[in-house]
Structure 1
Amino acid sequence: MSGKTTKKTAARKTTANEKTATVAKKPAARRVAKKAAKPSKAAARSSDPMSASERIDQKIASLGDWRGERLAEIRKLIHEVDPEVVEDWKWMGTPVWSHDGMYVLANPFKGKVKMTFFHGAQLPDPKKLFNADLKGGKWRAIDLREGDKLDTTALKALLRAAVDYNTTHSVPKSKGSRA
């Protein structure tokens, strides 16, 4: 026995980790095949002839209450401040406005319309319009409830600052439609 190796000690043992790794590879390959066969959501949307501006019109009309009126008012102010604005429809129902990148979106909720500024943390807000609970390093928002008085002068200044920020900084570009 001094110079001989037995088959038991010479054979390499398969560890539990190696067994798991081998088993995990097979389902992953099947998942990739399923994804390739299924058309993407983007492909489905691209066949839809309705433009982003038309979708926003439709959203405003479908609300039929103060939220639709408020969304229309916000949209009008955005176009007054930025005649070159690009309207987009993202995330399955969110109006987004861009100029050299996305700068604001507006979502109607049950009791409010929320305006979210993509780079709001970098914008001056002397009139303290940002009132939503977004305290991160990037986004800021304004919650507008029924009956709230909109300070259009301050909001226009905030919108101008957002457009200025986008034109002077490199931000992701949107592929929306011109309104």
Structure 2
Amino acid sequence: MNDNPPPYQTDPRVDDYINALPEWQQDICRQVRDLIHAADPEIAETIKRTVRPYFVLQGNVCALLAAKDHVNVFLYDGAIVPDPEGIITAGHDNKTARTVAFREGETINAPALLAMFRQIIANNRAGGWRKLKNRPE
């Protein structure tokens, strides 16, 4: 366990969620958490839907959900953020969120995930994906 506090504001409820997971899932969640905070220093952490960690900035950016054999990162992008490296694993046709799933031993494509986080945040600041998606071309 890392004894150094992260360089960003954390929510103790998110800490509790992560700390209760198996070690390999904790590692994935912490890497994703570091990336989302690296994407923008104004990211805030919260808990929604009773126990699920959410990362928000002028709207949802992403959420974590640990399953038995993987960790899901739900990207709240309305399927409008480009995925040039093909990291999306589910929800390709979903109207609100797509998923990137990480299994034990897999490497996180940090540059691709960071780029997606930054684009979601930029879209949130521009009024959110719903507004952007409905904008006339």
Give the shorter-chain TM-score range. 0.7 to 0.9
User: 2:73 maps to what in 1?
Assistant: 115
User: 2:32 maps to what in 1?
Assistant: 74
User: 2:90 maps to what in 1?
Assistant: 132
Q: Secondary structure at 1:150's aligned position in 2? A: coil
Contact 2:25 2:104 in 1 (8 A): yes
| Percent identity of equivalent pairs | 27
**Mapping of residues 18-29 of structure 1, within 5 Å:** none
Match for 1:165 among 106, 123, 130? 123
Contact 1:105 1:116 in 2 (8 A): yes
User: 1:57 maps to what in 2?
Assistant: 15
Which 4+ stretches in 1 moved above 6 angstroms?
A: none
User: 2:113 maps to what in 1?
Assistant: 155
Structure 2 spans left out of the alignment, 5+ residues? 1-9, 131-137
Contact 1:94 1:105 in 2 (8 A): yes
Contact 1:119 1:140 in 2 (8 A): yes
Instruction: Provide the C-alpha distance between the structure 2 equivalents of 1:166 and 1:143, rounded to a whole number of angstroms.
Output: 23
Structure 1 spans left out of the alignment, 5+ residues? 1-51, 173-179
Deviations 1:36-87 (A, max 9, x none): xxxxxxxxxxxxxxxx710111111111420111111110111111110011
**Pairwise CA distance, 1:154:** 0.8
**TM-score scaled by length of structure 1:** 0.63
State the aligned residue count: 121
**TM-score scaled by length of structure 2:** 0.81
Contact 1:94 1:106 in 2 (8 A): yes
The alpha-carbon distance between structure 1 residues 130 and 120, as it changes in their structure 2 partners (threshold 3 A), is farther
Larger radius of gyration: 1
**Pairwise CA distance, 1:134:** 4.7
Instruction: Provide the C-alpha distance between the structure 2 equivalents of 1:170 and 1:129, rounded to a whole number of angstroms.
Output: 22
The alpha-carbon distance between structure 1 residues 80 and 170, as it changes in their structure 2 partners (threshold 3 A), is closer
**Pairwise CA distance, 1:114:** 0.2
